[in-house]
Amino acid sequence: MKYLGFLLLFSILFTSCSSATPTPASPTSSPIPTTQVITPTVTPTPTSWWEKAVFYEIFVRSYYDTNGDGIGDFNGITEKLDYLQDLGVNALWLMPIHPSPSYHGYDVLTYYNVNSDYGTLSDFVRLVTEAHKRGIRIIIDLVLNHTSDKNPWFVDSNSSLDSSHRDWYIWSDSDPGYSGPLGNAWHRGKFGYYYGIFGSNMPDLNYKNPAVTVEMKNVVKFWLNDIGVDGFRLDAVKYLVEEGQKQENTQSTHDWLKDFYTSYKADKADAYTVGEVYGAGAFIAKTYTGDQMDEIFSFEMAGGFTGSALGGANSGVNSAVQFTLKDLPDGPYATFLTNHDQNRVMSLLNGNMDKARLAAALLLTSPGTPFIYYGEEVGMEGVKPDEEIRRPMQWSGGANAGFTTGTPWEAVGDNYPVSNVAVETADPKSLLMYYRTLIALRSQHPALNGTGIQLIETTNRAVYAALRFSQGEKILVLVNLSKSPVGDYKLGLKSDLLVDGSYKLESLLGAANAVDLTISAGAFANYVPLAELSPFTTYLFQIK
């Protein structure tokens, strides 16, 4: 390898990404105020690859086991690239792949190698190569905030006041006594107290020491240039550089990330970073985009999608879109339903397959770069503890859900006999095939994979409506979020995008013939495209 060294970083992803279950909203039929028109500003040119990407998040340990040891491996992902290509995703996010003493891998033992449970570095390089042949990009988890207490750097730092790595961590002669999000942030070492915001086994790195920054830049250069990955997901990034007792969203963190951004773009101009800035809201989150990271995850949008799918009312998704785009009109954010730190969306929706289809449709017809959590597309279930939301992928109804010929590291989910890739591939009406359809439509239509959206006023809160647009295309998104047919609704919108005239609506999804749309004075009102909207149904119409 070009760079030598051992580094153990552990990220507390499970802490910073917890999410409350949305409160169901009750659909009602009543007039609502005219929706604020939201017109995103000019999309960056040229378009970056991630703006058109559909990502798929994989926990390697749980995806597919090729050697019978009960643990998923890199060769397993390589073997399933055809499946991923058929699904339509064109980018993968791999949860931590570095050597680690834990099952989850967020406490890394060295940045310059891979977890032997998953295979060899050569196996990983082969995965990257084969993915790239199929036009699939790969990003990996990169934990910058802290390392494990078993990291050789920390072991050395804790061994002597004069050790070469002493200042690579944050030390105090006495216990300052203040807490972090999980309790006390200071922990007793051999010679003083060290700072670990997420626990004693995860000491924070000291980015006020230039040597730490230099080493992390070397790590990034290694993975981007020597190995060939396409970027990184940055965990718990808002905690990176502390300013005394101010632990999150500090100016020092922003300043460090600006330098980091310049550095990794110099290493690889089209490298991508997406950051976890949980709990900050779009107003704070936007301060991390532009010159610090390429995108941030939108937890607000995730809550809106799942809230409206669960509750049957448009208030959740409408609010999420309005508030997110108010602060992030250009769309530098990533969307999702739930992730590896949250109860799976199918469990959140109480196993209701119709609502799962709604959630998928809201995700994949909205702005932002969508991320799909592995198994979400077949309806995998799971509630905390974390091991049970990271269970083995359900490939078939056979032994161990087709994940391994050995004993799986964690028991497979209870619904695997009916919710699995083999069964759903054979069923054209399955959730898996619906995901494939939605992803294909998103990939084929610029209006769906760009940033342009305007919410459409509707008189029935069980109905979600939006105009998706690009320079050359407009698509009407129309969703009945409720379990009952809806005929009592009217749509209205005034926008400078609407040119007077009569328009045909060509069905892309939902197989229905819609009434022509007439625009007068740049607006339409009291428009009823379909006499009745079927329960739990999403319609897409290209306006021609």
- Of the residues 204, 276, 381, 457, which is catalytic? 276
The C-alpha angle 369, 444, 464, rounded to 5 degrees, equals 60
Structure tokens at 39: 């017109």
How many CB atoms within 10 Å of residue 32? 14
Q: Is 243 a catalytic residue?
A: no
Active site residue: 51, 65, 235, 248, which one? 235
CA distance 287 to 277: 10
**Nearest alpha-carbon partner for 235 in 14, 7, 8:** 14
Q: How far apart are CA 511 and CA 48, in angstroms?
A: 33
Q: Tokens 């240039």 sit at which residue?
A: 225
461 within 8 A of 29, measured Cβ to Cβ = yes
- Where do we find the tokens 């078939």? 396
C-alpha neighbours within 13 Å on the C-beta side of residue 110 = 13
* Mode of pairing for the β-strands spanning 473-480 and 505-509: unpaired
How far apart CA 43 and CA 45 sit, in angstroms, is 6
Please tell me what DSSP assigns to residue 522. T
* Token code pair at residue 56: 């798929």
* Residue 412 DSSP class: P
The number of residues making up the chain comes to 544
Mapping DSSP to helix (H, G, I), strand (E, B) and coil, where does residue 282 land? helix
The structure tokens 């941030």 sit at: 296
Closest CA to 483 of 24, 19, 6, 73: 24
| Peptide bond connecting 24 to the previous residue in cis, omega within 30 degrees of 0 | no
Q: How far is CA 160 from CA 19, 155, 167, 186, 241, in A?
A: 41, 9, 11, 18, 24
Query: Measured between alpha carbons, how far is 508 from 466 in angstroms, rounded to an integer?
Result: 15
| Known catalytic membership, residue 235 | yes
For 407, counting Cβ atoms within 10 Å of its Cβ (0-12 exposed, 13-18 middle, 19+ buried), the class is exposed
Active centre residues (catalytic): 235, 276
